[in-house]
Structures are given as C-alpha cells and as structure tokens.
Amino acid sequence: MVLLAVVGISPAAFAQAQLAPTPPMGWNSWNHFGCKVNDTIVRAEADTMVSSGMKAAGYEYVNIDDCWEGVRDSKGFIHPNDARFPDMKALADYVHSKGLKLGIYSSPGPHTCGGYEGSYRHEKQDAETYAKWGVDYLKYDWCSARYVYKPDQYQAAFEKMHKALLATGRPIVYSIHGRGRVWTWAQSVGANLWRTTGDIKDNYNRMVAIGFGQEGLAQFAGPGHWNDPDMLEIGNGGMTPEEYRMHMSLWCLLAAPLITGNDLTKMTPETRAILTNPDVIAVDQDPLGVEGQRVWEEGPLEIWMKPLADGSKAVGLFNREQSTIKLTVKFSQIGIDGRATVRDLWARKDLGVFKGSYSADVVEHGVVMIRVTPLK
C-alpha cells in the first residue's frame, strides 16, 4: 500500500492494471454465430484456439456473447439455456483445461440485446453465479438499461456490477458497452475495457470509420484500462486480405483488445497468418501500454504512430485510395532524429538503416506497418 501511495496509483487502479496489463486477446461468439452459439461450438473454438496456434500467439479468452441465458429460479439465480448450455461449470472447466479462460455476457438492464434475462436487480446474484461457474471475463452491454436508468445513473449502474464482481473474490475482466462519453468515466467505475463506438460490421467502410475515428482517445487508455473499438472481423469474409491486414494493423496501433469474431475451426491459412503474426501482435501487447495516434493525414492517406517500451516506434502507413500510392514517414514526425533501423512487420523482415525518413508503396485499401528503432 505504501508503494501505491508513493507512485500515485490508487489500489483500485493497481488491481485493474494487474488484471489486464495489456489489451485482452481472445475470441467472441457474436460476430459469426450470433444466437446460434452453444456448448459444442464453444468447445470446438477452444480446441482450435490451441491447435491453430492462436493460444501460443497470445489469445486466451473464449467469450460467450448473448443468447446463452435461460430463466431465473425461484430465488432469482440465473440458469443457462439447458438446450444450448447444459452445464456451464463443466464448460468452464473444459476451457480451463486447455489453458484458456471463459467469458460471458449480460446487461445492466432487465433484458439483453437479444431479449434474454439481464442482470437488473440481480447483479450480486449473477456475479456470484459467474464466479461459481469459473467465469474469467464479463461483457456488460447497455441494451435495455436505457429504459430503467436515467443518464445521470449510467455510471452507478456499471459500478454496481463492478462491486459485485469484486465481492466474489474471483478476478474477472470487466468489459462494458455504455452510452455517451464512456471513456471519460469507465475506469472510475471499475471497467478494464469499454466500447468507444457502435457495433462493427464485416465491411471495409464500417471498419475504417470506427478505426480511424479513434483519434483523440489515447489519453484515456493504459495498462488495465483500454479503449475498445469493438471486435475483429478478420476471417468472416466481408473484406479483402489487404483490408483485413489494415484492420489488424490499426487495432494493434490503437492498443485495442484483440477479440476475434470468426469461426476459428474454418480459418484459411491467410486468416491464421494475419491473426497470429507475432511482430504485429507485439505492437498491441507492448508493455508500455500507450495507444497510438495519427501523426499525418492527407485526404485518404494517413500515418499513425505508437511508441513502444524499448524506445522504438510502431508506424502504420495507410492508403484508403483506390490505387497504389507512395507514402513517406519523416522520422521527425515520430520523434526520432537522424538514422534508424526499419523492420517490415507484415513481411517480418529487417529493411536496413535509413536516414531521416522511410518511403513505401502502399496498395489500395492497404497498409505498410513498420517498426522504427533509433540508432544511438
């Protein structure tokens, strides 16, 4: 406690940082399966997370989204839909046996977005149930809460579940989707990550609108508390490989949670390569925990930079135009003087020493992602 006081970190903030020191990585059922999710699917995704190399790459959460809920018993405790999830504790045990963690979903309102039982007035009971089952992650989605809470009650509604989770004694990552300028208060109510946008869709225009729209939010992110521009759509089929690489690059530069939403059991080799590239993931998971920001923009062309713990800079050169265009990052734009080494993170290749700048041809709807390391 003395150390916390010395460095100016509150006990609550310290606990958050310990729980999610880097952006969470995992899988969520919603984007691909929606309400068709069931026990068999979740087990298969967990199996594939291990066998495909996803777990080795850092993905660890297997998150069940909406539609798992059944009814409450006479005492008010929630039970899963028996037809889909006959034994949630057994499922959690299975996921844990793979060295992975289980996530679940609810709402501060009376009902979830899918119309199932929410946690309204049952927060303590639900938190206790999740802990009993062995849940490691809760996604808490606003949905019907707008019908029972006024705007000045939003924060208290989320904090109520945070306190209920803490009371269980089980470490549970807390992911919220609220309304308004959530990023300005989410950490204070105990959230480890918070949605900064509406829902993503598996199309290029929605992805770039969300991703490039994150500018200005970096000040609110850091170890234990992350801005969340929603889940990854990589592998769901609505974008080209170049667009999916742009998606992955931008989310990693944003220090965003990497929660993939595809069917892992049907991944192509190219999808797997995008999702498991260690050089790119290392940017997202960098322990400094700084969210990247735009350093240059000209129409459909953008350059983003994320400072890294070793003093190097991760840089994304993005082209939203419909032709190949040469982009140049000046080292002075990213806080580097003189010479620096450059590594292409998608090619996983060292490109050599450059003085003052680096240029690359960037294909349409594409990205060149590099790591620039100053020479001393």
| Tokens 């989320």 sit on residue | 158
Catalytic member of 141, 228, 230, 263: 141
Q: Measuring CA to CA, which residue among 254, 272, 204, 213 is closest to residue 54?
A: 272
Catalytic residue among 73, 82, 93, 199: 199
Closest by CA to 129, choosing from 75, 66, 191, is: 75
Q: Would you say how long the chain is, in residues?
A: 376
Q: How far apart are alpha carbons 168 and 159 in whole angstroms?
A: 15
Return the ∠ at Cα 122 (arms to 120 and 140), rounded to 5°: 55
141 included as an active-site residue: yes
Instruction: State the pairing for strand pair 78-80/101-106.
Output: unpaired
Question: Is 38 exposed, middle or buried, given 0-12, 13-18 or 19+ CB atoms closer than 10 A?
Answer: buried
Let me know if 199 is a catalytic residue.
yes
Pairing of strands 313-319, 293-298: unpaired
Structure tokens, 369: 């992602």
Q: Just list the catalytic residues.
A: 141, 199
